[in-house]
Amino acid sequence: SATLYIVPTPIGNLQDITQRALDTLRNVDWIAAEDTRHTHKLLQHFSINGRTLSLHEHNEDKRAAMLCQRLIDGESVALVSDAGTPLISDPGFVLVRKCREEGVKIIALPGPCAAVTALSASGLPTDKFVFEGFLPVKMLAREQVLETLQTRTITSVFYEAPRRVVDTVEAVAKVLGEDRQLVLAKEISKTFETYVSGNPQTILEYLHRDPAHQKGEFVLMIAGCASTTTEVPPEALQLLTILQTELP
């Protein structure tokens, strides 16, 4: 069978495409794209005449079966999304899982990813982190996810839509307190790239200072809670509570 290539594309600055991504897009038989019109613009910019097919959340099951069969029949495929690394809060999982099951060779090219880029510049600990993707849209569900960070000691990374960023930072203040440290990365690799760090109040002040501050694309990172309070294992805490009631 032929190879499935997973090809990251720029998240803002077109110069972030890699030489290997360009060579791959030039040489494959098919380019499976989240949005073919969007990808055509990218291909046009680099003068690539690839054949595209759509693969998005609404047709992924059918398209994955079809593409997998083409791969088995010897046609190579590059998978791209609108921006960044496919499968990272983007389509492609169904296709990759199917190809793995069928023993199709898969090569993922390293490249742009907003989460990793933001984290590397955040100043927050990077030795361990949780990537949470997008928070649920409904407020109750969002708060429930944020509650899981109350005792989390490592950095959490979220993608956020512009129309929800203020609500999310307010929810962080409500659920995790006014002192939790945040870093908001905005418009990475674009002209108005900005990093804002501080407590929820500082971030909200930035977002309200100028209507332009709420537009664009965001990665929100939340520092872990101070580890001293959670270093005590839950069983020990339970024991302490029992002892407290027993002691004079």
Binding residues (CB under 6 A) for ligand SAM: these are 11-12, 81, 83-85, 88-90, 113-115, 159-161, 185, 187-190, 217-219
Question: What residue number has its CB nearest to ligand SAM?
Answer: 84
Quick one: 91 or 225, whose CB is closer to ligand SAM?
91
Quick one: 132 or 217, whose CB is closer to ligand SAM?
217
Residue listed under structure tokens 């169904």: 94
The 3-class SS string of the chain reads CCEEEECCECCCCHHHCCHHHHHHHHHCCEEEECCHHHHHHHHHHCCCCCCEEECCCCCHHHHHHHHHHHHHCCCCEEEECCCECCCCCCCCHHHHHHHHHCCCEEEECCCCCHHHHHHHHHCCCCCCEEEEEECCCCHHHHHHHHHCCCCCCCEEEEEECHHHHHHHHHHHHHHHCCCCCEEEEECCCCCCCEEEEECHHHHHHHHHHCHHHHCCCEEEEECCCCHHHCCCCHHHHHHHHHHHHHCC
Quick one: 132 or 160, whose CB is closer to ligand SAM?
160
Q: How many whole angstroms separate alpha carbon 117 and alpha carbon 148?
A: 24
Q: How far is the CB of 123 from ligand SAM (least distance, A)?
A: 16
Q: How far is the CB of 228 from ligand SAM (least distance, A)?
A: 32
Quick one: 80 or 223, whose CB is closer to ligand SAM?
80
Residue listed under structure tokens 């495929």: 77
Quick one: 176 or 188, whose CB is closer to ligand SAM?
188
Q: How far is the CB of 184 from ligand SAM (least distance, A)?
A: 9
Q: How far is the CB of 8 from ligand SAM (least distance, A)?
A: 7
Dihedral sign for Cα atoms in the order 96, 78, 70, 1: negative
Q: How far is the CB of 238 from ligand SAM (least distance, A)?
A: 39
- Give the Cα-Cα-Cα angle 156, 225, 140 (nearest 5 degrees): 60
Q: How far is the CB of 187 from ligand SAM (least distance, A)?
A: 5
Q: How far is the CB of 90 from ligand SAM (least distance, A)?
A: 4
Quick one: 70 or 186, whose CB is closer to ligand SAM?
186
Quick one: 76 or 85, whose CB is closer to ligand SAM?
85
